[in-house]
Amino acid sequence: MTQELLAQKIVAAAARLFAHHGFHRTGMRAISQAAGVSIGGIYHYFKSKEEILLAIVREEVEARLSFLEELRRQDLPVPEQIRRIVEMHFARLEENQDITQLLHHQWRDPSPLLRQKITALYEQLAASLAQLIEEGIAAGQIVPCNSTVAAYALIGLVEGVTQRALAGDAVGEELLKEGPEQLTKILTRWLVPPQEKEAAK
């Protein structure tokens, strides 16, 4: 097994444990057992479980940033890019609910220093969304607004629906199924100028 695959195995095992048992209640020995890797092997890649959590969050944020960059290269209208961003979020949610659960509940538990590092990663994502919204405003595809406020509002709206969707009950299933389309409709009504909505029909 390559070093990269071994590190991914450690991260995946830790994500499951953090999501199901909590960050503070999960120790390195439990991660070692779940991953099938010796304690020494884990410390070869990560100095602490805080570093593992940071790696989990960084990977998710970087995946979303890469997706945003790919959309930009396709030169799609900004409202269409936002629709695809929402769809991508829900697709990743269904692919790995453990990591989504972890991102929405557990990352706030660590030390202030680690929390600061994780928050900085989320701020990169918000800044990228704000830049996208600014481009949409300049092109007349998005109503004039404070792009930073709009970016955080978009993130908050999607995360609010995601948190409820993770419950695993009938309402959660409905949100998983209907969330992307309905959120896109709400965001379109809010962000897209009337003339752009008519042109898109």
* 154-195: pLDDT as tens digits: 999 998 898 888 888 999 999 989 999 999 999 999 999 987
Give the CATH architecture of domain 50-200: Orthogonal Bundle (1.10)
- Amino acid at the residue 169: D
Kindly state the tokens that stand for 56. 């989990």
Whether the predicted pLDDT of 201 surpasses 70 = no
- pLDDT band at residue 110 using 50, 70 and 90 as cut-offs: low
- pLDDT band at residue 105 using 50, 70 and 90 as cut-offs: low
pTM, two decimal places: 0.82
Transcribe 82-144 into DSSP letters. Answer: HHHHHHHHHHHHHH-HHHHHIIIIITTSS-HHHHHHHHHHHHHHHHHHHHHHHHHHHTTSS-S
Report the alpha-carbon distance of residue 12 to residue 93 in Å, rounded.
15
- What mean pLDDT do residues 121-147 have? 95
Domain positions in the chain are: 50-200
- What mean pLDDT do residues 78-86 have? 94
CA end-to-end span of the chain:
52
Contact in structure between 199 and 193 (CB atoms under 8 Å): no
